[in-house]
A and B are shown apart, each in its own frame.
Chain A
Amino acid sequence: MSIAVTTQIICFSVLSLVVIIGALGVILLENIVYSAFLLGGVFMSVAGLYLLLNASFVAAAQVLVYVGAVNVLIIFAIMLVNKKEDLKAIENIKSRRIISTSICLTLLSLLIRVDLSNTWGLAEPNASIGEESTIRIGEHLFSDYLLPFEVASVLLLMAMIGAIVLARRDVMNEDISTGLPVDQELIEKPNEPLLIKKN
């Protein structure tokens, strides 16, 4: 990329700060709507990191798919299941928190140690294809990655049909007692919650 190194470092620092603070906000904020919007910010900053790595096509795909599809889907899910409920307290929450936090910190220290101590086999910077990466991705997708590309399309079709089947609600076509057709309102039919009275 033809930007000066100082500018790159400033951009990288700002973007990674936004990524990390936004991710902390996603998991720590009480209100889940704020979490969803912060998640969109994290996705945008990750797209910015991709731009710093000379990958304009993947950055565009990230913005389109993650911010445009996944994040909107999550906001819709929040809208559909948003109900204030007072959660029951867990009795041994403190020990659980301690165990999970120590696991995460151990994993983090291990990963950072590997990141810093390993000697990575870096390539020559002047062999880089730079801005031509979109062309190279197209060549890959239609030659040596053709089979995964086609399988991905089948996977997306399966996911679409599966999501429709899973999220569809059952509505009654006709009234049980009178046999007359019922107008299908948007209100869900009052069904007995299954499996809720266990024990």
Chain B
Amino acid sequence: MNLESIPLQAFLIVSSVLFCIGIWGLLNSRNAVRVLMSIELMLNAVNINLMAFSSYVDNNLIQGQVFTIFVITVAAAEAAVGLAILLSLYRNRVTVDMESFNLLKW
């Protein structure tokens, strides 16, 4: 088999696996900081997808790279606000266990 370059599907599979690992961590973590880390993993998976498509499908007008920059911006804002919410939650509840944040549970 003579490859001219890395196939697009290889990047897509890596990003799919990374996204599913992120979802698993989001569903199963009990530490709230780890939940935020899983969200960052999922955002990175989406970014790999956008970058791969912009390089293979839209390689002249690379709009996917611009989208990736916006996703990185929003992810930084989300991490800052999420960790601030986590700190004030910890101050009120003295725990970071996701199972104890059940105020809205009925």
Contact B59 A77 (CB under 8 A): no
Question: Chain A contacts of B28 at CB under 8 A?
Answer: 27, 96-97, 100
Chain B, residue nearest A54 (CB): B55
What is the total number of residues of chain A having a CB less than 8 Å from a CB of chain B? 91
Interface Cβ pair total, 8 Å cutoff: 248
- Whether A123 touches B56, Cβ cut-off 8 Å, given contacts A101-B24, A155-B73, A167-B84, is yes
CA distance A24 to B69 in the complex (A): 25
Encode B15-29 as 1/0 by CB contact (under 8 A) with A.
011111111110111
Question: Chain B contacts of A76 at CB under 8 A?
Answer: 83
A182 within 8 A of B: no
Per DSSP, are chain A's interface residues mostly helix, strand or loop, or mixed? helix
What is the total number of residues of chain B having a CB less than 8 Å from a CB of chain A? 80
- Among residues 145 to 199 in chain A, which have CB atoms less than 8 Å away from a CB atom of chain B? 145, 148, 152, 155-156, 158-160, 162-164, 166-167, 169, 188, 191, 193-196, 198
Encode B34-56 as 1/0 by CB contact (under 8 A) with A.
10111011001001100110111
Taking beta carbons and an 8 Å cutoff, which residues of B are in contact with A? 3-6, 8-14, 16-25, 27-31, 33-34, 36-38, 40-41, 44, 47-48, 51-52, 54-63, 65-66, 68-70, 72-81, 83-88, 90-97, 99, 102-103
